[in-house]
Chain A
Amino acid sequence: MPDRDDSAYLVGTIENAVSSGEPIAILGHGSKPRLVESDDIAFLCTSDHTGIIDYRPDELVITARSGTSLEEIQEVVHAQGQMLPSDPPMFNRKGTVGGAIASGLSGPGRPWYGSTRDSLLGVEVVNGKGQRLNFGGKVIKNVAGFDIARLYAGSKGTLGLILSATFKLLPVSEHEITVELERSDVDAFHLLESYSRRSSTLAGSCHSEQTLYLRFAGATSAVQQDFSTLNGASVCSSFSWSELRDQNLSFFGDSSPLWRVSLDRGNLYQNIDELSVLSEWNGSLVWVKTPTESPPPVSTDVGRVEPFRHLGVQPKSSLKYASRLKQAFDPLGIFEPEVVV
């Protein structure tokens, strides 16, 4: 995809919206579930605002325009033996830098490599007054001012448009293997728990229907050592972590309502073991399919349930601070008015 600076158009459109009061919704590749389904809103599309602005492999830092595809970023940094640590989902192989930030989603390595928010160092945004603002920067340690850059992670386009962003990168591990084990829910839980209290090269877990897949990544000798101490494991070449990340596994293939459940790791599978589930992130992220639109029965002291796909209404925050936050960045309600997350 050619590099193109579309910022004049994007900022101009927002300035017009500020004058006219006509709200807009920000769209990248449209790869992720939308916040609100409405026909009355004009879309402002970032997908022509593309290109890597600055990439310095020896700084482990990359800056790109928000419409740049995640696929391009991954290709460019992989060529230098580096990766975007949070490995954000690319549903249908689509997805932009801006969309990854706005959705705040992270891939299967999240507990080990951090979230999209964690690796975000800085953003240039346009707020709801049409002002171009820079927060954060291009360095890892930076505590000047409130951390507004990271506030944009997971803000779902309600606080403004992201023009560009800077991420910290990580080197790709020297060696990586995936192993497969037959394990019940309880046995999988105990095995994963044992890893959390010792040094290992574990860097991914996926459990569904009695099969546990583990990813080990690190120095070759260390990966081999971890594999050799694991009973009953066999190296598996057919499992793809990017297919898990992008929800292309058969588990995600039907149109049942899909829920995202964040669990305290100590509560793996409590109350939901009779439903169709797939867990990752060391057991702390569980995808649950339900036969109806009723949420899975998970009590609030055990974890949090959020609707993800094939579900009509998204929840709105009732917190007064959420409304005020929206007001502070978008006083006229230019970006998805009435919506706070």
Chain B
Amino acid sequence: MTNSIALQLLGSELPSRAILTDRSEVKPFETDGLTAHRQTPWVVVLPESVAQVRTVLHICNECRVPVVTRGAGTGLSGGARPNSDGVLLVLTKMREILDIDLASCTATVEPGVTNLAISDAVRQHGLFYAPDPSSQIACSIGGNVAENAGGVHCLKYGLTLHNVMGLKVQTIEGDELVLGGKSYDSSGYDYMALMVGSEGMLGVVTEVTVKLLPIPSNRSVLLGAFDDIERAGDCVAGIISSGLVPAGLEMMDKLAIKAAEEFANVGYPTGAEAILLCEIDGGEADVKQHTSQVERLMKSFGALDIDVAIDPAECERLWRGRKSAFPAAGRIAPDYYCMDGTVPRGKIGSVLSAIAAMSEKYQLAVANVFHAGDGNLHPLILYDAAEEKQQQRAEEFGAEILECCILAGGTITGEHGVGIEKIDQMCSQFSDEELEQFHQLRKVFDPSGLMNPGKAIPTLARCSEIGGMHVHRGKLPHPELERF
């Protein structure tokens, strides 16, 4: 009933082109990048201005209609899966670059601007926006903020949270929060830290001011081939503890190398058990010095073959294989499931061994690509959804990888977010009190729980239903009870 009133109000306040209700029109919005989970939205609204966003939020608040905000829909954890009786607020029409300020080296943009469009717009000034998730051609900056997106260059340049200077956020109660700006670190609670990575549950980001950095004048990429994956892992630790900060440090295992080479044909050593890709950037003098330092380190850790690229086209060639790892996995299996856990760098070797054992257990192959410098793993579980129970097995396999990451002292998600995909593992990573604190925090900005309900933070009831037992710091709750 309230939904029909809400629809009437939306219709009277917004231009008709901004509202989609026909099944054929709303169908394309039923999923984000986690395509295995679909839900047809009740209504899709595509606002063209901040005023329209505020109108939508006002109506939804008055009529108690849930709101799921999304950008380009490239998210991989189902965070933007629509609600069957809610509004899907799609911000892709708000794609104006509002200001490029060369004095402060910042760009202020609307949320629907794509990640790459920012760098494209400022390249002529010798500047770029550093975080570069692999979906950067398509993904929007608003979504990057909601997910605290990463990428291959986080090791040196940080995550979205380190590169956002200011935000304007609309709350469901009708307030506009103006957070940060072009200057650093004002006093007061750090609302920006809360908004970045909040998965659309605290407010709607309508303006983003990002930090721009000078494009490094020089760059090199080294590819080291190893006949032992543990040795490649040791080399990662060796590079990090040598005092170097590479712009990127990536690792691929044998199956990933083979798939990428078949797909991109870039000359990867398909006989190797693992490769490391290390990018160095900066001024001419330091790139030269650091490149030879990495080359020496790779040799000392037993690299069989080292390819050093300085020429931009050659650098591009070496990266191309890594960047096509996901579509390449899509070619060697009908379906793949991309996981996203982080572990301390020193645990990479043991976690990889555990994943190999799980691969046997679940009888599903896995190709490993990861941001080794950050300890961020992306195992790609290969399966065939047409085969009975393979999808379920793939999801169970993925869940076990995440549990393994927690036990290794890491986390269930490094950069893809919790969404709906990893909501059950939140029960393992956090105690009831911690989850309750998340809920209390959420109520600060959204007392009625209308913003992206059912995502990211599980209810305590859900946790007890799935029967996950939270083992906190190795201590079982109620150790006096016998357990079988």
Contact = CB atoms under 8 A, between A and B. Distances in A.
B183 A135 contact: no
Contacts of B282: 199, 218-219, 222
Interface in B163-196: 171, 175, 177, 181-191, 193-194, 196
Contact of B185 (A110, A146, A172): A110
9 contacts: A104-B190, A143-B197, A143-B415, A145-B429, A196-B105, A197-B125, A219-B282, A340-B189, A341-B189
Nearest to A168: B158
Interface stretch (A67-75, A91-99, A147-155): A147-155
Interface in A293-341: 303-304, 306, 317, 320-322, 324-325, 327-329, 340-341
Nearest to A225: B285
Contacts of B181: 264, 304
Interface stretch (A3-11, A22-30, A54-62): A54-62
Interface in A199-226: 199-201, 218-222, 224-226
A328 B185 contact: no
A147 B196 contact: yes
A219 B285 contact: yes
Contact of A142 (B104, B413, B444): B413
Interface in A90-146: 104, 106, 110-111, 114-115, 117-118, 127, 131-135, 137-146
Interface of B: 101-105, 125-127, 147-148, 150, 154-155, 158-159, 161-162, 171, 175, 177, 181-191, 193-194, 196-198, 202, 214-218, 237-238, 240-245, 282-286, 288-290, 342-346, 371, 374-376, 409-418, 422, 426, 429-431, 433-434, 437-438, 440-445, 456-457
Contact of A146 (B198, B242, B433): B198
Size category of the binding interface on chain A: 35 or more
- By Cβ-Cβ distance, the 9 closest A-B pairs, closest first, are A266-B103, A141-B414, A150-B193, A219-B286, A171-B243, A221-B285, A262-B183, A58-B241, A222-B286
B127 A199 contact: no
A187 interface: no
B415 A321 contact: no
Contacts of A284: 104, 183-184
A76 to B, nearest CB: 15
A243 interface: no
Interface in A34-62: 56-61
Nearest to B104: A265
Given A196-B214, A199-B214, A264-B183, A144 B188 contact: no
Contacts of B102: 197
A146 B148 CA distance: 11
A141 B374 CA distance: 7
B189 A322 contact: yes
B345 A59 contact: yes
Given A146-B198, A146-B441, A329-B440, A154 B418 contact: no
Contact of A197 (B127, B216, B345): B127
Contacts of B237: 58
Interface of A: 56-61, 81, 104, 106, 110-111, 114-115, 117-118, 127, 131-135, 137-148, 150-151, 153-155, 170-172, 174, 193, 196-201, 218-222, 224-226, 262-266, 281, 284-285, 303-304, 306, 317, 320-322, 324-325, 327-329, 340-341
B472 to A, nearest CB: 8
Contact of A57 (B214, B241, B284): B241
B352 to A, nearest CB: 16
Nearest to A82: B243
Contact of A111 (B184, B244, B284, B342): B184
B243 A172 contact: yes
B186 A58 contact: no
B342 A142 contact: yes
Contacts of A304: 181, 183, 186
A141 B154 contact: yes
Nearest to B416: A143
Contacts of B440: 328-329
A265 B217 CA distance: 24
Contact of B289 (A138, A150, A219): A219
